[in-house]
Homo-oligomer: A and B are copies of this chain.
Amino acid sequence: VAYNVVVVGHGLVGRELARLLLGGALGLPLRLTGIASSRGAVILGGPGDLVHLHRIYREGGGLEDHPGFREGLGPVEAAVLANAHVAAVAIPPSYVTGEPNRSIVFGLLEHGVSVVTADKTVPALDYDRLVGEAEARNLYVGLRATVAAGTPAVDAARGLRLREVRRLRAVLNTTTSYIVEQVEEGHSYREALSQARAAGLAEPDPALDTLGLDAAAKLVILSRLLGFHASMDAVEREPLESFSEDAVRAAAARGLKVRMVAEADYARGRYRVYPDALAPGDPLYASDPGEAAIVFEVEDSQVTLRGPAGPAWRTARVMLTDLADYVAHARLVERLSPGE
């Protein structure tokens, strides 16, 4: 028995994940039955549909080049038409209004579709409702790809639940680390940002990275997983640019690295995202701009986790790990409710 998957979002991550699923999903019992972009969707029926999709990925076309593309078909309707058991959501964030992300994710759950997501919007804005609605319907929600995808940060936070976690300090936004590297090499912030965007590293809206919204969302999700009632509104944010270009270069000349640091002081309920110049002895220090790092201050000691965050191909792999957990969950539910 295979489970039907719809991929929601056809950017770099969505395309990589669709390709992994088409290529056998590393042996998982999963079948890609639909893909939705922001403009429409394709429901995958016969083998002909797959042939067209393979050609699009080989030749670099868009979803709308598929003959089965249905303009204006929304992700939730697509999931229903595709008989999806689970949706893999990889769409751009929307922290101001929460839309259309909120409607998509809650619409999927209302239709009995489990969700694995790389998008942080809903877990960051509506964590309790997300977990509550999934639980009420015995559905699975996978969040591994929302924080430092590639490094098991979500798993680590889950594993520290009920422990005495006093403080968290982390580098979670690698786009700003890449921007800093460009500025160190003599480019302006403006040039560095457009390069990052061109390389597919920056969010479409650069403010998400440099104003700290991306890091704030990740800080909120980790804090929620640890059991704290964090919210986006409560995170104080300082923009990356509060370090001038010259200040970034002066720090580099002294062997320091400017990084967007996300910090939570749980005793005081204080959450902050701000640029800081890290010294080599700091457990968050990394010369590689693609590396994420987290220090959890737990009880009388520290737990440190570091590793890669992205790029898109790795994020897609992490979503597949979530899908493996979805399969285990779905099998348990099936064994227990044989009537359905």
Q: Which residues of A contact B (CB under 8 A)?
A: 26, 28, 135, 138, 144, 150-152, 154-156, 158-163, 290-291, 296, 298-308, 314, 317-318, 320-321, 324, 332-333, 335-337
Contacts and interface: CB of A to CB of B under 8 A. Distances in A.
A103 to B, nearest CB: 26
A318 B155 CA distance: 14
30 contacts: A28-B162, A138-B332, A150-B298, A150-B303, A152-B155, A152-B156, A152-B158, A152-B160, A155-B155, A155-B156, A155-B159, A159-B321, A161-B321, A162-B320, A162-B321, A162-B324, A163-B318, A298-B308, A299-B308, A299-B314, A300-B308, A301-B307, A301-B308, A302-B307, A304-B304, A304-B305, A332-B333, A333-B336, A336-B336, A337-B337
A26 B156 CA distance: 20
Contacts of A163: 317-318, 321
A226 to B, nearest CB: 11
B317 A162 contact: yes
B308 A303 contact: yes
A154 B159 CA distance: 8
A314 B159 CA distance: 13
A95 B306 CA distance: 33
Q: How many copies of the polypeptide does the oligomer hold?
A: 2
Given A301-B150, A304-B306, A161 B336 contact: no
Q: Which are the 7 A-B pairs with shortest beta-carbon distances?
A: A152-B159, A155-B159, A303-B307, A336-B336, A155-B155, A301-B308, A152-B156
Contacts of A317: 162-163, 299
Contacts of A291: 301
Contacts of A298: 150, 307-308
A160 B150 CA distance: 8
Nearest to A307: B303
Contacts of A296: 307
Nearest to A163: B317
Contacts of A151: 303
A150 B304 CA distance: 12
B336 A138 contact: yes
A324 B161 contact: yes
Contacts of A144: 159
A170 to B, nearest CB: 14
Nearest to A302: B307
